[in-house]
Amino acid sequence: MILERISMVSNSNFWLILTIVPLLAISILSITTQAFGADSSSSSSQYIVRRVVIWDLFYRNMIVAFIVGAVVQGAIVYVVWRFRESNKKNFYRRPMGSEHR
C-alpha cells in the first residue's frame, strides 16, 4: 500500500514543478542582482543615490519572494487536495483475481 502511494507521487507532475520553481527563482534573482552589479563599472561622473538603489533592490526581491511563495503555497494546496484521504483515486484496491465488477 505504501509502495503504491510512492509510485503515484513519483509519476505525477509534482516533481517536475518542484524542480522548475527553484530554478526559475534562482535565475530571476541572479538577473536582478546582476543588474545592480553593473554600478561599479559605470563612470564616476554619474551620481548614484545608494538609498534609492537599495530600496529598489529590496522591492524587486520582495516581488520575486511573493511570487515564489504563491507558487509554493499553490503546490502545497494541490498536493493536499490531490492526496487527501476522501479522494476516491487514493483508495487501496485489492487484487480481485478473476472476479470482475
Q: Which three cell numbers stand for residue 62?
A: 520582495
| pLDDT of 4 higher than 60 | no
Residue 100: the pLDDT is 61
CB distance 90 to 5 below 8 Å: yes
Rounded mean pLDDT of the chain?
A: 76
Q: What is the rounded distance in angstroms from the CA atom of residue 7 to the CA atom of residue 90?
A: 12
Please tell me which residue, 66 or 32, carries the higher pLDDT value: 66
Q: Which three cell numbers stand for residue 34?
A: 546582476
| pLDDT of 21 higher than 70 | yes
pTM as predicted: 0.43
| pLDDT of 11 higher than 60 | no
